Amino acid sequence: MTTDVKNMDQQSFLQSFLSAGCESIPAAFKKSALVAIWFVFLTFPLMVIKVNTIEKTVIWRWENIAYIATTVFFGSFVWRWLLARKELKKDDSKQETKVEAFLTRIQSTPFLKYSLLACIGIVAIIGPLKFVAFGGKFQLLDLYQTNVMISCLLYIVLGLGLNIVVGLAGLLDLGFVAFYAVGAYAYALCNMHWDIGFWYMLPIGAVLGAMLGLILGFPVLRLRGDYLAIVTLGFGEIIRLVLENWGDVTMGPSGISNISRPEFFGTKLGVIGSTSYMYYIMIGLLIFTIFCVNRLQNSRIGRAWLALREDEIACQAMGIDKMKTKLMAFSLGATWAGMAGVVFAAKTTFVNPASFTFWESAIILSIVVIGGMGSIRGVIAGAVILILVPEYLRDFAEFRMLLFGAIMVLVMVFRPQGLISAKRKIYEYKAKTASAGNE
């Protein structure tokens, strides 16, 4: 029994929604009820019972049964409906979403595109500045919000770096945070021992990142998908454990503090000035990154990466040097992580191994995957959603990682190409109409 989801009147839509995936509405209700009962059973020990073996007490949270039952009952309808829609849509997977169509229209009209960019640019630049206007003080972003924006921009840069490795070249890297850590610790150590300033360390961090990317890339050249993921995960963990345990060099779990902030042409700025300064540095870095990634994407190496992602053996058969392409992907991705690491150390003036766990890698991976693999706009959207939104919903902070995990699963099941999928450049040729004297 197939139903066309689009051409429906309201009553039938409700019918098709409720009975999706089942023979009839009563059958759907029965199925949902059974699923709800199953989940109540499943979560019973963990959600309902809380045992304290020291004090010998038990807390029974019976109300959780009601929450789970109702959520799962209604959720199962939505789940089945979405799955049924996914089956129907299987053939036209190239369909654009409304958001994508909207963005494409803006980008194709130069006037709209540049005015939008100008608006974003103006808002971004006046962000942390204080104005005296309209008879009162006016500041778009205060100190706390500027910090949040710097954090978000850092994640965008990291996401774009990982995007090169995962999105463009298709190499699943779960240890990306290792390059981030190396950049941050390099600045921290050089600053602590030899008082090297931020602006000298920025390129050094980039170079270190690139070198570490090469070192990581060499041994894993032969590995495919799953194995590559695990090895990179192992590398990431090894780096973190070495940072934690090699106390003599890296100061162990207590970390390195009092890292100096970037200087403005030789003058040291206070906290507020520094934060605004870092904000502008990050905007500059972001523009640089977007520019580079965009050019890389449309270059020879970018197309080589896309070929590598689609089919490794076929790409070799076409004459693309697999080794060089993979190594370029790793080291270029790592370069940006290294630079971001230096900025991170300067921003927080304190580094310790706990900031560079696997979960950081997972968050950056989520940004790339959920935003849209291989697409710059997607990564920016992903970072904005995954970093800014939780910041403003601070009350729900403890649910943040829970939602990350759930969103990762849901996006993979229902929309594997991400929020804003990558757009290949399409050239349209319009046929020349026959006009007098032109043939």
Partner 1 sequence: MEYFLELLFGGLTRGSIYALIALGYTMVYGIIELINFAHGEIYMIGAFTGLIVAGLLTMLGFPGYSILAIALICAVIWAAAYGYTIEKVAYKPLRGAPRLSPLISAIGMSIFLQNYVMLAQTSDFLPFPELVPEFEFMKGMGSMLSSSELVIVLATVSVCLGLTLFIKYTKLGKAMRATAQNRKMAMLVGINVDMVISATFIIGSSLAAVGGVLIASHIGQINYFIGFIAGIKAFTAAVLGGIGSIPGAMLGALVLGLTEAFATGYVSSDYEDVFAFALLVLILIFRPSGIMGKEKIQKV
What are the residues binding partner 1 (CB under 8 A)? 38-39, 41-43, 45-47, 49-54, 56, 58, 83, 86, 170, 172, 174, 219-220, 222-227, 229-231, 233-235, 237-238, 241-242, 245, 311, 313-314, 358-359, 362, 365-366, 369, 398-399, 401-402, 404-409, 412-413, 416
Residues in contact with 327: Cβ distance below 8 Å, sequence separation at least 6, in sequence order = 213, 214, 217, 218, 221
Residue closer to partner 1 (CB basis): 156 or 368: 368
- Residue type, position 423, single letter: K
- Residue among 44, 42, 20, 43 nearest 32 (CA): 20
Residues in contact with 4: Cβ distance below 8 Å, sequence separation at least 6, in sequence order = none
- Output the smallest distance, CB 182 to partner 1, in A: 16
- Burial (CB count within 10 angstroms: exposed 0-12, middle 13-18, buried 19+), residue 58: exposed
Residue closer to partner 1 (CB basis): 200 or 396: 396
Distance in angstroms (rounded) separating the CA atoms of residues 35 and 29: 10
Residue closer to partner 1 (CB basis): 62 or 134: 62
- Output the smallest distance, CB 242 to partner 1, in A: 7
Residue closer to partner 1 (CB basis): 350 or 358: 358
Residue closer to partner 1 (CB basis): 190 or 228: 228
Q: Provide DSSP, 362-376.
A: HHHHHHHHHH-TT-H
CA distances in angstroms from 256 to 244, 312, 345, listed in the order given: 11, 43, 9
Return the axis-axis angle of helices 300-310 and 322-348, rounded to nearest 10°: 110
Residue closer to partner 1 (CB basis): 61 or 130: 61
- Output the smallest distance, CB 345 to partner 1, in A: 24
Residue closer to partner 1 (CB basis): 106 or 401: 401
Residue closer to partner 1 (CB basis): 49 or 123: 49
Residue closer to partner 1 (CB basis): 185 or 235: 235
Q: Rounded to an integer, what is the distance from CA 4 to the centroid of its chain?
A: 34
Residue closer to partner 1 (CB basis): 384 or 407: 407
Residues in contact with 404: Cβ distance below 8 Å, sequence separation at least 6, in sequence order = 362, 363, 366, 386
- Output the smallest distance, CB 220 to partner 1, in A: 7
CA angle 108, 113, 114 (to 5 degrees): 135
Q: What is the DSSP letter of 424?
A: -
- Output the smallest distance, CB 50 to partner 1, in A: 7
- Output the smallest distance, CB 86 to partner 1, in A: 8
- Output the smallest distance, CB 421 to partner 1, in A: 14
Structure tokens at 422: 């990558």
Distance in angstroms (rounded) separating the CA atoms of residues 317 and 315: 5
- Output the smallest distance, CB 218 to partner 1, in A: 9
Give the phi and the psi of residue 50 in degrees, each rounded to 5.
-130, 110
- Output the smallest distance, CB 245 to partner 1, in A: 5
Distance in angstroms (rounded) separating the CA atoms of residues 409 and 397: 20
Distance in angstroms (rounded) separating the CA atoms of residues 177 and 341: 9
Residue closer to partner 1 (CB basis): 7 or 53: 53
- Output the smallest distance, CB 169 to partner 1, in A: 12
Distance in angstroms (rounded) separating the CA atoms of residues 201 and 151: 19
Distance in angstroms (rounded) separating the CA atoms of residues 30 and 38: 12
- Output the smallest distance, CB 204 to partner 1, in A: 26
